[in-house]
Amino acid sequence: MRILHEHAGLVHAPVQQVRDAVLSVQHGPFRTTPIPLRVDVDLEQGWIEARGQWWWCGRFEVRDDPAGARIVYRTYNLARGVSGRLVPFTVGRGHRRGGREALRKVLEELGDQFSCETELL
């Protein structure tokens, strides 16, 4: 996996509360979209990821931070060979803006849930 984009933000709340909220989702295959999606959660490492299409993986990771919890969102390129080299210039282009917006929404929801400040870094 190669990182295409990375975005980070802070939630001014205890890291364990934030981790529990972010990681408490059903995992496994999903068919709620036209494209099959698989969601995996690693509670020990503190991340949740979704994989879809033939090239894409998005991962939210919750880490400890002096401010509370740092959330890092990464988009990975899973494609290999020539296709893998073309992804950043083709299907992967819109994911930078989309990833930042996805993280902003997650931060907003967590801020509302915990009545705390959040920051998009």
Is 37 in contact with 48 (CB distance < 8 Å)? no
CATH of the domain at 76: 3.30.530.20
Residue with tokens 């894409």: 56
Q: Around Cβ 105, how many Cβ atoms within 10 Å? A: 10
Which residue's entry shows tokens 């390129």? Answer: 77
pLDDT at 9: 98
Considering its fold, how many domains does the chain have in total? 1
Residue 43 phi, psi dihedral angles, 5° rounding: -65, -35
pLDDT (0 to 100) of residue 45: 94
pLDDT, tens digit only, all 121 positions of the chain: 787 889 999 999 999 999 999 998 765 555 556 677 788 899 999 999 988 776 778 899 999 999 999 999 998 876 666 665 665 555 555 666 678 888 999 999 999 999 999 999 9
Please write the tens of the pLDDT for every residue from 9-22.
Answer: 999 999 999 999 99
Domain that holds residue 54: 2-120
Which among 109, 110, 96 has a CA at the least distance from the CA of 58?
96
